[in-house]
């Protein structure tokens, strides 16, 4: 083989360039498909907090106290008559409300709805009272609240 033939074999021709580019593109597409396939097989599980939580011992909650449980989006209110658990989710558009101790009211920061400590609407665009939540006394004598169970409005938990 002569030197000119040897140079011609190693030269990059248009055909060889197109072949190399095509093989490279197919390899990149196959690699991308493999990565997406592995990602698709990984489950996307959503972990939410349990619906039932402990609010505390009845004796440790003074009359007139409002406990806020942000993680569970709930309030526990101690009244003279007993206890009340309310959802902190506004019934207007689902914003999370806040307790205002200086006003003795629950206020929605989004659109100005206001609720009494009984959950009833005091003002604003909210169409319904806050949801009352189920309460029970655990075996250890602690108050538990279940955010998944709705009770009739105005329900009071008495010991």
Per-residue pLDDT band at 42 (split at 50, 70, 90): confident
The helix (H) or strand (E) run that includes residue 107 is: strand 105-107
pLDDT, residue 14, reads: 85
Please say whether the dihedral angle defined by the alpha carbons of residues 8, 13, 19 and 21, taken in this order, is positive or negative: positive
Residue 90, pLDDT > 70, answer yes
Judge whether residue 95 has pLDDT over 60: yes
Going across the sheet that includes 121-123, the strands are 98-100, 105-107, 114-115, 121-123
Residue 75's nearest CA partner among 136, 145, 138, 152 is 145
Which residues are registered as beta bridge partners of 114?
Answer: 107, 123
pTM of the model: 0.68
User: What is the reported pLDDT for 10?
Assistant: 65
Give the model's confidence band at 37: pLDDT under 50 very low, under 70 low, under 90 confident, else very high. Answer: confident
Mean pLDDT of the region 139-157: 90
Q: Does the structure show a pLDDT above 60 at 103?
A: yes
Superfamily of domain 52-151: Rieske [2Fe-2S] iron-sulphur domain (2.102.10.10)
């Amino acid at each position: 083989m002569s030197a000119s033939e040897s140079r011609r074999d190693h030269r990059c021709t248009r055909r060889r360039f197109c072949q190399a580019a095509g093989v490279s593109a197919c390899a990149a597409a196959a690699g991308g498909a493999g990565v997406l396939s592995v990602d698709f097989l990984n489950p996307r599980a959503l972990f939410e907090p349990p619906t039932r939580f402990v609010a505390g011992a009845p004796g440790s909650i003074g009359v007139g106290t409002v406990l806020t449980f942000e993680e569970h989006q709930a309030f526990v209110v101690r009244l003279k008559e007993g206890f009340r658990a309310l959802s902190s989710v506004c019934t207007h558009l689902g914003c999370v409300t806040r307790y205002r101790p200086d006003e003795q009211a629950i206020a929605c920061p989004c659109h100005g709805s206001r609720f009494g400590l009984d959950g009833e609407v005091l003002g604003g665009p909210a169409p319904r009272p806050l949801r009352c939540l189920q309460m029970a006394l655990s075996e250890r004598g602690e108050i538990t609240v279940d955010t998944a169970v709705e009770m009739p409005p105005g329900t009071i938990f008495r010991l």
